[in-house]
Chain A
Amino acid sequence: MKFVDEFRDPQKARILLQEIEGLVKRIPVCRDRPIWIMEVCGGHTHTIFRYGLNKMLPKEVEFIHGPGCPVCVLPRGRVDDCIALAERDEVIMTTFGDAMRVTGLKKNLLQAKAEGADVRMVYSPLDALNLARLNPEREVVFFGLGFETTMPSTALTLLQAREEGINNFSIFCNHITIIPTIKAILDSPDLQLDGFLGPGHVSMVIGTKPYSFIAEYYRKPITIAGFEPLDILQSVWMVLKQLAEGRCEVENQYTRIVPPDGNMQALQAIQEVFELREFFEWRGLGSIDHSGVRVREEFSAFDAERKFPLPNLKIADPTSCQCGEVLKGVIKPSQCKVFGTTCTPQNPLGALMVSTEGACAAYYNYGWIPEEDLHPAKSPV
């Protein structure tokens, strides 16, 4: 495929891997321990496992799988609020596909649907708005979630709804924002990491400048990375190069998509519709100040939290889960005491097992294969 296969060229990968091996030898820390690079974004986690990049890189380079899967980090209380909304007779609850499997205290939206709730999968908030137009006697609620990547489309949809005077449409806002989250991770006392792969899609909206504190204050290199396997390898190479040269900068590998100043139109829409919450709860990480957004007062007619009463319960993470330690790189997913036993993709106990982009689900689904069990000599043709 044009503009895709170019970024999956195995020959170019081999060249990059050779250069990475050369760089690793120049980084002093490698003599004592691996280099820990956090990929913030769930899309990166997915690519790393889908293409087996973790097994292609030298053993001195280890990925720490960050909090960038917005489905994974949604706390159970918010999911239960969403289910309570969906179970109202007048409500058509609309949501993205993978959000339907996130479990609250007792069930997820798929189970609520099976019990009779009107839950529909949509591919964009505009589809949800269209459902509102087609069902004027019902209230269509859009389960809005995601980082700055998906925030603009929710904001623009809400602006469209206001312009058209649609009064049976609202959003249940669970959007989160990336910068306070990275800061909370960096402030964690037990953090173990040497550099970041910055989120490509989020950066398409916010640009590269908001990350400068990571390099300047926390002295960690960060490279904004694309999502194809060559993007990731090149970004790893760029982070390692900074480490080898003793630099800490914000670099942009994903220049074909990410402008330094971001997307002004998208940022304006976000600014017009949303405001920061004082704090927001995350699965595995606890409460993080100013890490979530809510709908502004001026748009309260489109805010499901203001339109409907919600249980609004705080439900603690299961004590057996070690998601927080995985997110901070203290342990690997497979080292969690419930990984693959009481916590599986079929029955996710912890946040990171919920979506295919969660680190634990990726470990579980794509697994780990001992080298001696691979049979390259028996290729089919």
Chain B
Amino acid sequence: MLNRTTNDERITMAHGSGGKAMRALIEDLLVPTFNNSLLDTLEDQATIPLRELLQHGDRLAFTTDSYVVDPLFFPGGNIGELAVNGTVNDLAVSGARPLFLSCGLVIEEGFPLDTLTLIVEAMKHAADRADVSIVTGDTKVVEKGSADKLFINTAGIGVIREGVSIAATNAQPGDAVITNGFIGDHGVAILLARNELALEADVQSDTQPVHDLISHMLDVCSQIHCLRDATRGGLATVLNEYASASNVSIQINEPQVPIRESVRGACEILGLDPLYLANEGKIVAVVPYENAHELIKAMRDHPLGKHSAIIGRVNSSPAGIVILATTFGGTRIVDTLVGDQLPRIC
């Protein structure tokens, strides 16, 4: 826990002023929690030896993402874990080994210091789990009402192993489409956590780092053609991105798409389509069909891939279109969503 040099219980404008309070926040909370030699120097940048990077591969992967989730705490996680896992996953889906992250905090004036401590500790926990270091950062405090409690930006770098070439443009007719488990958990967990619904369901967010699973997959099949994590916009959006970028058609089979009963139930009540729900630890890969079954077997041996499944195939036509073969025996197009999904009136 924070060994405070001030008696502040809440973040004030002084914590972002560049003065003593800000220094105390960084030195008493962020530096000891993130705890690594690159951050300890408190320079304006982290200085990373290239030799260390080259041990892991031959190309750098670099990404950034901002996290503005409401509520900050939800079943299965919080914004801190999400900010680390999300950026780790954005690196990992290129086939990279994630190594270093930055952390930018935008804090609303009045935010409880204890809550910030919990979130920062969750970031450290997630970073340790993903074997990455948070080596540089930035803290801003904005006036009450100018931000919704807390926003976190994380950027990250990783190194892509040699011989791996993953891109949305690589899908080929005949390929298999696979995922590592139940979709829609995060989207439903957030909806329920907002307490706007008279609904109860035991659904936890799936926030988790998938780099180790992907490394395991690359050991079995280095020729993964496409790989993305299905975050906002869900499975449907990723598949549409592949179909469009590779100018192919993708057909998925509804009975093979893993969806929890509780998620299906919530979607039925709210009139939502689970294919579009957000995920935070689910990957969607397009791989050569001849490797698919062996890959699924290997993925199921990994803790994050127990429910992995082949969910569809890539076809040549109709180009750019994703098709769902329904459990009921019909077919329909799965288009990209227009805006957010909104619950139906009745």
Contact = CB atoms under 8 A, between A and B. Distances in A.
Partners in one complex: yes
A180 to B, nearest CB: 19
A127 interface: yes
B328 A149 contact: no
Nearest to B177: A380
Contacts of B318: 369-370, 373
B343 A96 contact: yes
Interface centre among B329, B343, B345 (most CB of A within 10 A): B345
Contacts of A127: 196
A50 B344 contact: no
Contacts of A380: 176-177, 252-253, 256, 310-313
Interface string A140-158: 0000011101100000000
B338 interface: yes
A105 interface: no
Given A145-B345, A375-B251, A380-B313, A366 B328 contact: no
Contacts of B339: 101, 110
A110 B342 CA distance: 11
Contact of B343 (A98, A365, A374): A98
Interface of B: 174, 176-177, 196-198, 249, 251-253, 256, 261, 264-265, 268, 310-313, 315, 317-318, 321, 323, 325-333, 335, 338-339, 342-346
Contacts, number: 130
17 contacts: A1-B261, A8-B327, A8-B328, A13-B328, A51-B332, A52-B332, A98-B344, A100-B342, A101-B339, A110-B339, A146-B346, A357-B344, A369-B333, A374-B325, A375-B315, A380-B176, A380-B252
A312 to B, nearest CB: 23
A50 B346 contact: no
Nearest to A123: B197
B236 to A, nearest CB: 11
B344 A356 contact: yes
A379 interface: yes
A201 B249 CA distance: 37
B285 to A, nearest CB: 13
A97 B270 CA distance: 10
Contact of A96 (B174, B256, B338, B345): B345
Contact of B333 (A99, A366, A375): A366
Nearest to B264: A1
Contact of A10 (B176, B265, B329): B329
A18 to B, nearest CB: 13
A13 B329 CA distance: 8
Interface string A228-257: 010000000000000000000000000000
A55 interface: yes
A373 B316 CA distance: 9
A58 to B, nearest CB: 14
